[in-house]
Amino acid sequence: MVPEDVRHESVHAADGRGLASATQAFRLILTRLRGGGLLLATGLYRIYPWVARNRSRIGRFVPDLPRPPVA
Domain-located, residue 70: no
Is 65 a domain residue? Answer: no
Q: Please give the pLDDT value at position 40.
A: 82
Predicted local distance difference test score (pLDDT) of residue 2: 64
- 49 three-class SS: helix
CA–CA distance, 11 with 29 (Å, rounded to integer) = 10
pLDDT, mean over the chain: 79
- The structure's pTM equals 0.53
Domains in the chain, number? 1
For 50, 65, 66, the CA distances from 69, given in Å and listed in that order, are: 29, 12, 9
In a domain, 71, yes or no: no
Domain with 25, as residue range(s), is 4-59
Q: Does residue 67 sit within a domain? A: no
Q: Is residue 24 part of a domain?
A: yes
- Between CA 40 and CA 26 the distance in angstroms is 10
User: What b-and-e string marks burial along 18-54, b requiring 16 or more CB atoms within 10 Å of the CB?
Assistant: eebbebebbbbbbeeeeebeebeeeeebeebeeeeee
In a domain, 66, yes or no: no
- pLDDT, tens digit, 9 for 90 and up, residues 26-56: 888 888 888 888 888 888 778 878 887 887 8
Q: How confident is the model at residue 8 (pLDDT cuts 50, 70, 90)?
A: low
Least confidently predicted of 8-12, 22-26, 43-47: 8-12
